[in-house]
Chain A
């Protein structure tokens, strides 16, 4: 009996401790630093992809968009007149991979796609959102 009570207390403490760890509003400066580091690792990977041949013809994104300039991530989703409907930035990333880069489109949840988006939006940090702007 004593053994069961003891075990019960252990489980209770473990559950409580676990709950405490999961509290969303309690994070430290150390956490912030860690999360930013995680994010910047993906930005760095995006920068690498942006400067490498993602298609079949050795052309890379940065050749037309140094520092991802002229990609205007803050304006998406927007009506893309050449496609005839409202599209997201990732649709345009795939359009560029398929056309000027002559490659295969990425899956929309491909880590490479997330990395490219991270780099493109990071280079545009500080700009106010302007969805729909042409």
Chain B
């Protein structure tokens, strides 16, 4: 019997087909069967900085960024196995901001893995986060890959004790260029936990570490920095395939240190300049990185976005979904032993907007 196609179902199916057809080919995953580790896809949303104004009012621009990322994640096909939220859901750690963030994130149709950022932490020292959202240090295994989540935004006790109120502590940590700031750290307790967690993982198991701050040192005045990064790197050094994914820097940034690949996630709220464009202090911005385009403030979603990550043979291929620019793709180059941009890595191919000064 022939099924009758109603106008409604035709429009519905047609729209579905159109949505599928408009997705980039990079999203099509090839299944390799039973190899270990298996290939899979997940998504990464980070740094939304939802800002409470008063009552039920929030900064419209930043709400829009997170809502757009959530909507696009829901359209992903094939579906991601999970979505990572990379930290800084709130701007000043307020309950209103975190609850507002949870409400927007609740529209996601996929399970979420949470990473805490300093803007979520320094008001109540992570209490709301741990009560209502997630643990801050944990690990899980997924299709042959071992994932580790760290709280990398801790800092020295002496700095913590400096402030009269939690609000004062929070606003001092929230200011990126604060001369009275304090460097991030993972801390001995978590490093000990990490050693224990990895003790029973075989050295050829791919490891993906997710932290809010970069687990290496780029620019201390803006806290693009983790003070005890070398200690964490040392724990990760015996493993063959290690990728660290982090937020915080609001820009395309990647590096390779020994066996560890580092890749930054975009912010959904606003971009940050590269430290090279602040000329008063020296920086250690990785030479490997091909910069994102300089942001055009007249397009408020420019230089913001999110990422689709394909795990391929234990290595990450990172599709930066950039809302006002051409997408960028980072792929691990086995010959070079480092991640490369699939289009712009060759200096001859770079374009004028990628120059930052």
Contacts and interface: CB of A to CB of B under 8 A. Distances in A.
A51 interface: yes
A64 B297 contact: yes
B277 A70 contact: yes
B63 to A, nearest CB: 11
A69 B251 CA distance: 14
A66 B280 contact: no
A57 B51 contact: yes
Q: Which one of A64, A69, A95 has the greatest number of beta carbons of chain B within 10 Å?
A: A69
B228 interface: no
B53 A58 contact: yes
A30 B133 CA distance: 59
Contacts of B49: 63
Interface in B269-297: 270-273, 275, 277-280, 294-297
Interface stretch (A14-22, A35-43, A122-130): A122-130
A100 B273 contact: no
B29 interface: no
A100 B176 contact: no
A67 B278 contact: yes
A96 interface: yes
Contacts of B277: 69-70
Interface string B245-270: 00000000000000000000000001
Contacts of B51: 57-59
Interface residue tally of chain A, by bracket?
20 to 34
Given A66-B176, A67-B221, A67-B280, A58 B273 contact: no
A51 B59 contact: no
Contacts of B270: 63-64
A3 to B, nearest CB: 64
B298 to A, nearest CB: 4
Interface in B45-71: 49, 51-53, 59-61
Main secondary structure of the interface of A (DSSP, over half): loop
Nearest to A51: B175
Interface in A42-60: 51, 56-59
Nearest to A62: B177
B280 A70 contact: no
Interface string B23-58: 000000000000000000000000001011100000
Contacts of B273: 65-66, 69-70
A67 B177 contact: yes
Given A51-B175, A64-B272, A69-B278, A100 B53 contact: no
A123 B51 CA distance: 27
Nearest to B57: A57
Nearest to A65: B273
A126 B59 contact: no
B297 A100 contact: yes
A126 B279 CA distance: 9
A104 to B, nearest CB: 17
Nearest to A56: B53
Given A57-B53, A58-B51, A100-B61, A66 B278 contact: yes
B222 interface: yes
A124 B356 CA distance: 14
Nearest to B219: A66
Contact of A58 (B59, B222, B271, B296): B59
A51 B277 CA distance: 19
A5 to B, nearest CB: 62
Contacts of B275: 69
A66 B297 contact: no
B300 interface: yes
Contacts of B357: 72
Nearest to B353: A134
In order of increasing CB-CB distance, the 9 nearest A-B pairs are A66-B177, A70-B273, A69-B273, A82-B298, A69-B278, A66-B176, A67-B177, A69-B277, A67-B278
Interface of B: 49, 51-53, 59-61, 175-177, 221-222, 270-273, 275, 277-280, 294-298, 300, 356-357
21 contacts: A57-B59, A58-B51, A58-B52, A58-B59, A59-B51, A62-B175, A62-B176, A63-B176, A63-B270, A64-B271, A64-B297, A65-B273, A66-B222, A66-B272, A67-B177, A67-B278, A69-B277, A70-B273, A72-B357, A100-B300, A126-B280
Given A66-B272, A72-B357, 17 more contacts: A57-B59, A58-B51, A58-B59, A59-B61, A63-B270, A64-B270, A64-B297, A66-B176, A67-B177, A67-B222, A69-B273, A70-B277, A70-B356, A96-B297, A99-B300, A123-B278, A124-B279
